[in-house]
Structure 1
Amino acid sequence: MQGHGYAPPPPQPPPTGLLVVLRVFFVALALLSMGFLAWVAPLRAAIVTRRPAEWWFFAGSVVALGTSFALFSTDHTDDFSSSNGTAGMTILLLNAAACAGYYLYADIRHFRRRRQAYAAHTSLMPGMPGYAYPQPVPPFAATTAPSTQQPPYAPAPMTHTPVPRPPVPAPPQRPAPVRINQVRAELDELSDYLRKHPGGQGGSHESGR
């Protein structure tokens, strides 16, 4: 069962040089056409940004262009010198300037935000190659390289504490026999007696003779 994985990164913005060339082209198209092609610039901004505000601005530029054409149709002079022709030309030029300025504003803001979002996404995943998609794990990695990662909540190893044994009492020593002590005392008395009477034994033999 597969998880959600990583979210796809935002699209990488075009190079700055290409954006500058496109902006110069659409601004020049709006101004050099005297406003007749000014609606192309807000249309480009609406397609790129996909925001309702840009689409409303594009619709307003088309309405302004239609109004200026309606005023031109009521002017019967060759150089649009009547009041209707002057009003139509003024609306046309103002619409061209507004379309060029708003296109630059919307385009620069949109690609700045895209560049910031892309930079923030890549900074969060510096180690992921390419667009930071999850890379597949080789099938032999699980068998050749044992994993050293431990579970986050591994139970602590249980240590066996030895139970102290009660001391074994020494066997009671038996008292020396009473008879040995008595014999020893008699021998001591006899030795004392012989030391006190050194000639006692000889005298007894002589008296006996």
Structure 2
Amino acid sequence: MYGHGAAPPSRSSGTVIFLRVLIASAGFLTCGLLTCLPLFRVAVLRGKWYDWVLGWVSIPVAIIGLVVIGSLPESDPRTDLALSAILLLGAFGSVHFLVADIQHHRDRQLPFPGYIPQPPPRTGYGYPQAASPYAATHQQTPIPQTPMPQTPTPQTPVPQTPVPPPAPPQRPAPARIDQVRAELDELSDYLRKREGNEGDSR
């Protein structure tokens, strides 16, 4: 119903406590008439044969006790004995159910006995790979192999193409430098002419 490997949804703690109180009180509050209810619940939880026998035996014991109480007069001490037996049977069924149910839920919360939790394997560079516990443990015996004679294969030389020498680095064209040089020449010619004109005028 829940698929392969899927666990059924767990009950909440409130539901568990409510069912526990309801089943435990069924035997005692009905004066032992429904003592078989908590005892059968214990048999379902444990699955032991003696729990089933105890549940089935409680039914005729409760019926016989009620027959004795109803058929004999009230002053007969056997009625008191039958009523005490039925009430003790109901109390025993309730206590037995509570102990078994609490133990069952406690065992479900604990890990399996003898189980040692393993840390997760660290995989990656520098960490060894952990072996799976389910891997096959038998060892295979190696089969001896005779080495095959190897004949050397002739290798043809691969012609190597010469690597051309690197080209000398190209200098950028000095366009700006030539322009500045030309302007400086013009300026110096202008200054010479000016000086020459001033000398003539003196």
Bigger relative CO (Cα 8 Å, ≥ 6 apart): 1
Normalising by the residue count of structure 2, what TM-score does the alignment of the two structures yield?
A: 0.48
Normalising by the residue count of structure 1, what TM-score does the alignment of the two structures yield?
A: 0.47
User: Which structure would you say has the larger Rg?
Assistant: 1
